[in-house]
Structure 1
Amino acid sequence: MAGLPHDKLDALERRFESIEHAMSASPDPESYVKLSKEYSELSPMVAKIRAYKGARSDLAGAEELAKAGDAEMAELAEAEIGELEERIEALTQEIRILLLPKDAADEKSAILEVRAGTGGDEAALFAGDLFRMYQRYAENQGWRVSVMETSEGDAGGFKEIIASISGAGVFAKLKYESGVHRVQRVPETEASGRIHTSAATVAVLPEVEDIDIEIRNEDIRIDTMRASGAGGQHVNTTDSAVRITHIPTGIVVTSAEKSQHQNRANAMKVLRARLYEEQRQKRDAERSESRRDQVGSGDRSERIRTYNFPQGRVTDHRINLTLYKLPQVIAGESLGEIIDALVTENQAAQLAALEGNG
């Protein structure tokens, strides 16, 4: 295993101590907020650095003790040396992962878009299952889910559903979900018991504020239109639905909830997210042609996962991971196992790339 950049670790620890000192000196509120943010970002790293340095110091003491000449003490020291070496190796790996370059969007909230693909009614039902899976996973993480736009399927589920998922580090976890999800199961309407294959696409975009991306008024066209309802007294007969077209890119976003003001705000939020993601992908493609090969590239044309109901298994094709716990995954309970495996694989690929360049 490659060593650690000790000069950099010392510098990080010094910076952390200077932030602690600055925070205790009663700075103005704006400065305090900035210092607190950096403090919280550095805290996990500095805790590992101090544990690593402590373990190395303990190892040096144990090695001295092993040479002291007392056979019984030397035997105890040898056992301690083995444990400390394992701890130092584990801490070294953890620190190296913490030192990896961060995706600037990782800490952001996200816009989740789930759309039925091939498979008709069954695809819409599957899209509904996927959305509920993400909804439950998000709730288990303590995140807030707010549905922004829906188009319901004729037999249930959704032709399309868009939601905002708010919380710390949402995009870091959910970005691996972008792509084509395939389901294999017997539809309830299938009398012969024949297995059908259908699909849904998932897109996860980092949610951005005005300061992240500028949208000029002259670059957008806003149309209002009559919102359509499901019939009966709840039909919204006012011209409240909003469609925003971003003229330079041709991106079109619609929102058809009850409030025209809220529709415009929702549509602008989704438009900013899509423009930001387009810029991110363009920048990343220019920076690294190998991005397509990395886990979580978000290439929507690739089939990333298969949910096989008859066999009760879920397979993520990017890392050849199969879990025989489909009910728990689709319930949002075990989705974290797949996401954690994808995060670990991505970190391993990044470390390998750094070592290859080093």
Structure 2
Amino acid sequence: MSSRLDELASEFGLVERSLGDPAALADSREYARLTRRHRELLPLVTLLRERDALAADLAGARELLADSDMRELAAGEVTAITARLSEIEAELEVLLLPTDPDDAKNVILELRAGAGGAEAGLFVTDLLRLYTRYAEGAGLKVSVLDANESDLGGASKVVAEVSGEFAFRALKWERGVHRVQRVPATESQGRIHTSTATVAVLPEAEPDEVHLNLAEVRIDVYRSQGAGGQGVNTTDSAVRAVYRAGTPDEIVVICQDGRSQIKNREKALQVLASRLAERERAARDAQERSERASQVGSGDRSEKIRTYNYPQNRVTDHRLEGDDKNHPLDSVMSGALSPIVAALARAERERQLIAVSREGQDGAA
């Protein structure tokens, strides 16, 4: 572990020096990469500096053990420092675990109504409201790019962009099938219905991550539909991008977020590139590990990840156990997703630590 820590500490020093280089300041993309890497390495380097300082303090405290007048005080200090050093080693071990390279990216969020008819559409709008509140609390921005409104104020599909620092890390745990249990407004007998919605979270593709051949893309422009203000509906600003139309590879993206046809075209192509990148990642994952697919919500996975039980005011995340499993529904729906996200991230770190430990045992055998 120590050689890896030395490498990362050296990288941090290099990043700090590079941030002061005028050439990096002049290149916005490179400067953003450097500042992001600086934020990623700072917690680890902070712990390393604390560890080095404590090691020096520990050496001094041990020297004082020979002094009869200072022995009792020094012994207490040795105990406290040793305990903290053990905690730091454990924290460093966690920080050295593999990180998701997509964590810092913006997100294309897709919500689709599943089983349940109009009630499923209402659940989609509830989830969009939940994610919007959660994102705002995390300093992220949500922009709805496209929405297919359904009966009773619901939506059969919503596509939104979530932008800001570590947007994907904040939302990646939401991928999958969400189930709601409640009495619909249209239910006269008071019976509880079960409906579902599918959530897909796509990290936005980097410009050089996927090659999008524009010759394979058909661009249609038309007048924006739905709520958006009188000005939106008087110009042909909505854009439909169709990739490889009429083939099994066809992908359709619609963007009618604003009044600018140019901006909608750029955003539609960005979403299309993200979907293509996700498709390529899924193909690689399927080849390497055929037992699972990378994209949740693509239609080939139906296992629910979370249930929203309104009569019992409870949200149950089926990937968690013990006290982490259940949460107050009213709190979650108001945007308080952080406790669930933290629990899921903690469980993932524990799985990674176990895997690393087993690999170490296998290597020693």
TM interval, shorter chain, is: 0.7 to 0.9
Q: Secondary structure at the match of 1:214?
A: coil
The answer (yes or no) to whether the contact 1:113–1:202 under 8 Å persists in 2 is yes
1:245 to 226, 242, 245: 242
Match of 2:127 in 1: 130
- With over 3 angstroms needed to count, the CA separation of the structure-2 counterparts of 1:290 and 1:61, relative to structure 1, is farther
5+ residue gaps, structure 1: none
Q: Secondary structure at the match of 2:171?
A: helix
Percent identity between the two aligned chains: 45
Letter in 2 for 1:352: I
Distance 1:108 1:262 in 2: 20
Letter in 1 for 2:252: V
Deviates more, 1:156-165 or 1:220-229: 220-229
Instruction: Confirm or deny that 1:330 pairs with 2:327.
Output: no
Match of 2:342 in 1: 340
Q: Secondary structure at the match of 1:155?
A: helix
Distance 1:154 1:235 in 2: 22
Letter in 2 for 1:251: I
Distance 1:250 1:168 in 2: 31
Offset, 1:285: 3.9
Q: Secondary structure at the match of 1:252?
A: strand
Deviates more, 1:243-252 or 1:255-264: 255-264
The answer (yes or no) to whether the contact 1:175–1:298 under 8 Å persists in 2 is no
Distance 1:254 1:313 in 2: 35
TM normalised by structure 1 equals 0.86
Distance 1:237 1:25 in 2: 49
The answer (yes or no) to whether the contact 2:181–2:309 under 8 Å persists in 1 is yes
Distance 1:120 1:160 in 2: 12
5+ residue gaps, structure 2: 361-365
Deviations 1:24-43 (A, max 9, x none): 57666347836555434322
1:73 to 60, 67, 70: 70
Offset, 1:78: 3.2
Q: Secondary structure at the match of 2:151?
A: coil
- With over 3 angstroms needed to count, the CA separation of the structure-2 counterparts of 1:145 and 1:36, relative to structure 1, is closer
The answer (yes or no) to whether the contact 1:313–1:322 under 8 Å persists in 2 is no
Letter in 2 for 1:282: A
**Aligned residue pairs, count:** 348
Distance 2:21 2:186 in 1: 69
Offset, 1:238: 6.1
Match of 1:254 in 2: 254
- With over 3 angstroms needed to count, the CA separation of the structure-2 counterparts of 1:223 and 1:336, relative to structure 1, is same
Deviates more, 1:55-64 or 1:105-114: 55-64
Deviates more, 1:101-110 or 1:276-285: 276-285
Instruction: Confirm or deny that 1:14 pairs with 2:17.
Output: no
Offset, 1:83: 2.4
The answer (yes or no) to whether the contact 1:242–1:256 under 8 Å persists in 2 is yes
The answer (yes or no) to whether the contact 1:176–1:298 under 8 Å persists in 2 is no
Match of 1:87 in 2: 84
Letter in 1 for 2:272: L
The alignment yields a C-alpha RMSD, in angstroms, of 2.9
Distance 1:18 1:210 in 2: 25
Distance 2:337 2:15 in 1: 37
Letter in 1 for 2:173: Y
Distance 2:303 2:250 in 1: 24
- With over 3 angstroms needed to count, the CA separation of the structure-2 counterparts of 1:14 and 1:265, relative to structure 1, is closer
Letter in 2 for 1:246: Y
Deviations 1:296-346 (A, max 9, x none): 9746422000011111111110123333411010110x2100001111111
Match of 2:363 in 1: none
Q: Secondary structure at the match of 2:212?
A: coil
Q: How does 1:92-103 map to 2 (within 5 A)?
A: 92-103=89-100
- With over 3 angstroms needed to count, the CA separation of the structure-2 counterparts of 1:87 and 1:281, relative to structure 1, is farther
TM normalised by structure 2 equals 0.84
- With over 3 angstroms needed to count, the CA separation of the structure-2 counterparts of 1:298 and 1:98, relative to structure 1, is farther
Deviates more, 1:213-222 or 1:170-179: 213-222
Letter in 1 for 2:317: D
The answer (yes or no) to whether the contact 2:145–2:254 under 8 Å persists in 1 is no
Distance 1:49 1:111 in 2: 36
Offset, 1:139: 0.4
Deviations 1:50-97 (A, max 9, x none): 11222233334334434x262x63333333333223322222222122
1:211 to 202, 208, 212: 208
The answer (yes or no) to whether the contact 1:306–1:315 under 8 Å persists in 2 is yes
2:175 to 158, 178, 201: 178
Q: Secondary structure at the match of 2:178?
A: strand
The answer (yes or no) to whether the contact 2:19–2:25 under 8 Å persists in 1 is no
- With over 3 angstroms needed to count, the CA separation of the structure-2 counterparts of 1:130 and 1:9, relative to structure 1, is same
- With over 3 angstroms needed to count, the CA separation of the structure-2 counterparts of 1:142 and 1:228, relative to structure 1, is closer
Letter in 1 for 2:277: Y
